[in-house]
């Protein structure tokens, strides 16, 4: 989990992300008794084109260049 936050902070520092927020179970840990979870929900601001469609996901290309791969489902 520490590595995820290191990467997110580096992405913000490098201008890949404007900012981010943590949600889900990890976000709830700040308010409830700690428990085990296997994922981190990250929310980022996404710029939309004039049509209102989101055409790029912030940081996506950056992560791919670092060797991270997309996975679907659990």
Residue 36's pLDDT is 74
Say what percent of the chain tops pLDDT 90.
19
Q: What is the mean pLDDT of residues 28-45?
A: 77
Cα 16 to Cα 61: distance, rounded to the nearest angstrom: 9
Cα 48 to Cα 10: distance, rounded to the nearest angstrom: 23
Q: Is 65 helix (H, G, I), strand (E, B) or coil?
A: helix
Residue 20: phi, psi to the nearest 5? -150, 165
Cα 16 to Cα 2: distance, rounded to the nearest angstrom: 19
Q: Is the pLDDT of residue 45 over 70?
A: yes
| Average predicted confidence (pLDDT) for the chain | 82
């Amino acid at each position: 989990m520490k590595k995820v936050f290191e990467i997110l902070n580096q992405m913000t520092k490098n201008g890949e992300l404007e900012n981010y927020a943590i949600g889900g179970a990890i976000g709830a840990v700040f308010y409830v008794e700690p428990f085990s979870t296997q994922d981190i929900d990250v929310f980022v601001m996404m710029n939309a084109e004039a049509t209102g469609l989101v055409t790029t996901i912030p940081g996506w290309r950056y992560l791919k260049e670092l060797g991270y791969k997309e996975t679907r489902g659990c």
